[in-house]
Chains A and B, each alone.
Chain A
Amino acid sequence: DVKVTQSSRYLVKRTGEKVFLECVQDMDHENMFWYRQDPGLGLRLIYFSYDVKMKEKGDIPEGYSVSREKKERFSLILESASTNQTSMYLCASGIAGEQYFGPGTRLTVT
């Protein structure tokens, strides 16, 4: 079974803090993804990576950056958290459209 784990299930941060969300997969997938999911807006792609140290912007990259130093690990960084970044963050890994999601991190920025 594919396993994708995320560092936290729930996180509360203050406006302006730097936030790190980490994701680890154990299936040796080259592709990894970060999404956010909001009611009424659905799943939106923030960034993805197709190889170590490679990244591509998704639909909503503003305010975020990513890091992929090892194949199994993909980190999402909020450089200066804002209240409009309160959301559910989902990491996935996979091949093409077959993606396997982690349990998600519910981030609240106050």
Chain B
Amino acid sequence: QKEVEQNSGPLSVPEGAIASLNCTYSDRGSQSFFWYRQYSGKSPELIMSIYSNGDKEDGRFTAQLNKASQYVSLLIRDSQPSDSATYLCAAFKAAGNKLTFGGGTRVLVKP
């Protein structure tokens, strides 16, 4: 079992709709969680961080964390073609200073 799991996609979303991305993690010692966006041919870029249970909103992005279920999600509201990218979920554990990435979910926003 991978430590951080994501559906590889592609997740196809019409422009203006909500894209919903899911991520599960296996290590209960993970303390904080991050979403990175990676455009094709580019390096990952941090877009969201979440440290406690509940929702965190930043513009069109909402991150959700449920530590009891070991589940993290990212919602992209009013999806735009420019949101088409691979989204990487990552879990951080202070012991060992380790950030573990999932395999990423590819999102395609169709005009």
Q: How large is the interface on B (under 10, 10 to 19, 20 to 34, 35 or more residues)?
A: 20 to 34
The reply to whether B45 and A56 form a contact with Cβ atoms under 8 Å apart is: no
- Please judge, given known A-B contacts A42-B101, A43-B88, whether A96 and B94 are in contact too, CB under 8 Å: yes
Cβ of B65 < 8 Å from any Cβ of A? no
Q: Chain B residues with Cβ under 8 A from A43's Cβ?
A: 44, 88, 101
State which of B42, B99, B102, B104 has its C-beta within 8 Å of the C-beta of A99. B99
Q: How large is the interface on A (under 10, 10 to 19, 20 to 34, 35 or more residues)?
A: 10 to 19
1/0 per position for A21-40, CB-CB distance to B under 8 A?
00000000001010000001
Q: Chain B residues with Cβ under 8 A from A31's Cβ?
A: 97
State which of A56, A96, A98, A102 has its C-beta within 8 Å of the C-beta of B43. A102
Q: Report the bound CA distance from A33 to B46 in whole Å.
A: 15
State which of B33, B46, B98 has its C-beta within 8 Å of the C-beta of A45. B98
* Interface residues in chain A, defined as those with a beta carbon under 8 Å from any beta carbon in chain B: 31, 33, 40, 42-43, 45, 48, 50, 56, 90, 96-104
List 19 other contacts, CB 8 Å, given A96-B32, A97-B34: A31-B97, A33-B99, A40-B103, A42-B101, A42-B102, A45-B98, A45-B99, A48-B97, A56-B97, A96-B92, A97-B32, A97-B33, A97-B92, A98-B34, A98-B46, A99-B99, A100-B46, A102-B43, A104-B43
